[in-house]
Structure 1
Amino acid sequence: MPDAPPTTRPITLVGTPVLHRPCRAVEHFDDDLARLVETMFASMYSARGVGLAANQVGVDLRVFVYDCPDEDRVFHKGVVVNPILRLPGRRDRRLDDDREGCLSVPGCSAPLPRPDRAVCDGFDVTGAPVTVHGTGLLARCLQHETDHLDGLLYIDRLPAAARRAVLAEHDQRQNAPA
């Protein structure tokens, strides 16, 4: 009998406590972690995202998945467990001020300057070391997902007025008649 397809989980929304606190380090690289990663990929694809952190499906662990393009439009797919983000120093840093959105704040976005390059060190689902070099959207994704695992959403990096505007738009969308 073939394996059942991975299940999906609902995406947690802004205001859910697990999104607003740092996640716990992964200590066991086992079948449970592999199933979680499969579920995260399925949930990310179902929601039409390019990255997803474990706390976005309600799991308090430092793991994220991604499937997104770099600045050359080459797609990269993977998982990073217990990520450590490295950004260019101030002298070497170039900011990309593109718009950013989030599956946990659906339908909303705002301009958010972020470094246009990022490196993320961590482990794959088996515990083997990985290093992901990101440019363009992939660099933004690495930063965005690592922020999630630190208990931050992109809106937490916005100026106060922009954050209020995004949250007001989110509230309107959530309260709109179906």
Structure 2
Amino acid sequence: MALLPIYTAPDPLLKTISKPVEKVDAEIRKLIDDMFETMYAAPGIGLAAIQVGVQKRLLVIDVVGKGQEGEEPQPLALINPEITWVSDHDATYEEGCLSVPEHYADVVRPAEVEVSYLDIDGKQQTLRADGLLSTCVQHEMDHLDGILFLDHISALKRNMILRKLLKQKKLAS
């Protein structure tokens, strides 16, 4: 396994639309392993392939996390995920993102979703999610369509955060 570089906003790659995974093979499974290792090391609870520079419709999630006391990790890889149902009621969560480091904002999303996806064996699965898992799935699926959580907040707040990130990138180089 290997740690992968995480792209940060305003990198234009994060605004691209990811392509479907053609075949679930050893290469995709290795990418999934590397993505889990990268996500846990960051540390984060979700990571889309585009965030590590791979333009594939693939994401990994573990809302329990690695090494939380008394909790076993619950890694979940979703390949070519599609939302098939959303609830009528909404939920607000303070979201952060490994591609938007150290910035957080309240985002309103459907409280529950149902998602159809392929698992690591290439088998069709369905996931019904609520709470943090629902928010995380929607957040990571947004990445596959070139959408950041910043796109769900006011233009004023979004532009302030992007300017800070740009400034940090310039200082780092």
Q: TM (normalized to structure 2)?
A: 0.87
Residues 120 and 131 in structure 1, CA contact (< 8 A), matched pair in contact too: yes
- 2:9 paired with 1:11: no
Change (3 A) 1:22 1:156: same
CA RMSD in angstroms comes to 2.1
Letter in 2 for 1:88: V
1:3 aligns to what? none
1:107 aligns to what? 102
2:158 aligns to what? 163
| SS of equivalent to 2:34 | helix
1:124-163 aligned within 5 A: 124-163=119-158
The ranges of structure 1 where at least 4 consecutive aligned residues each deviate by more than 3 angstroms after the TM superposition are 73-76, 171-177
- 2:80 paired with 1:82: yes
Aligned residues: 167
Equivalent-residue separation in structure 2 for 1:60 and 1:115 (angstroms) = 26
Q: Where in structure 1 are there 5+ consecutive unaligned residues?
A: 1-5
2:68 aligns to what? none
| SS of equivalent to 2:56 | coil
Residues 51 and 64 in structure 1, CA contact (< 8 A), matched pair in contact too: yes
Shift of 1:124: 0.7
Residues 21 and 56 in structure 2, CA contact (< 8 A), matched pair in contact too: yes
Equivalent-residue separation in structure 1 for 2:74 and 2:150 (angstroms) = 25
Equivalent-residue separation in structure 2 for 1:142 and 1:49 (angstroms) = 13
| SS of equivalent to 2:75 | strand
Equivalent-residue separation in structure 1 for 2:75 and 2:145 (angstroms) = 22
Letter in 2 for 1:164: N
Equivalent-residue separation in structure 1 for 2:161 and 2:11 (angstroms) = 16
Percent of aligned pairs with the same residue?
Answer: 35
Letter in 2 for 1:44: M
Q: Which whole-Å deviations, capped at 9, do the CAs of 1:122-155 have from their partners, x for residues lacking one?
A: 1012210111221111111010010000111111
Equivalent-residue separation in structure 2 for 1:151 and 1:136 (angstroms) = 23
- 2:28 paired with 1:33: yes
Deviates more, 1:78-87 or 1:59-68: 78-87
Q: Which whole-Å deviations, capped at 9, do the CAs of 1:50-98 have from their partners, x for residues lacking one?
A: 00000011001000000005xxx99742100001013435xx22x2222
Letter in 2 for 1:159: S
Residues 80 and 117 in structure 2, CA contact (< 8 A), matched pair in contact too: yes
Residues 85 and 120 in structure 1, CA contact (< 8 A), matched pair in contact too: yes
Residues 19 and 152 in structure 1, CA contact (< 8 A), matched pair in contact too: yes
Q: Which whole-Å deviations, capped at 9, do the CAs of 1:20-71 have from their partners, x for residues lacking one?
A: 11101000111000100000000100111000000011001000000005xx
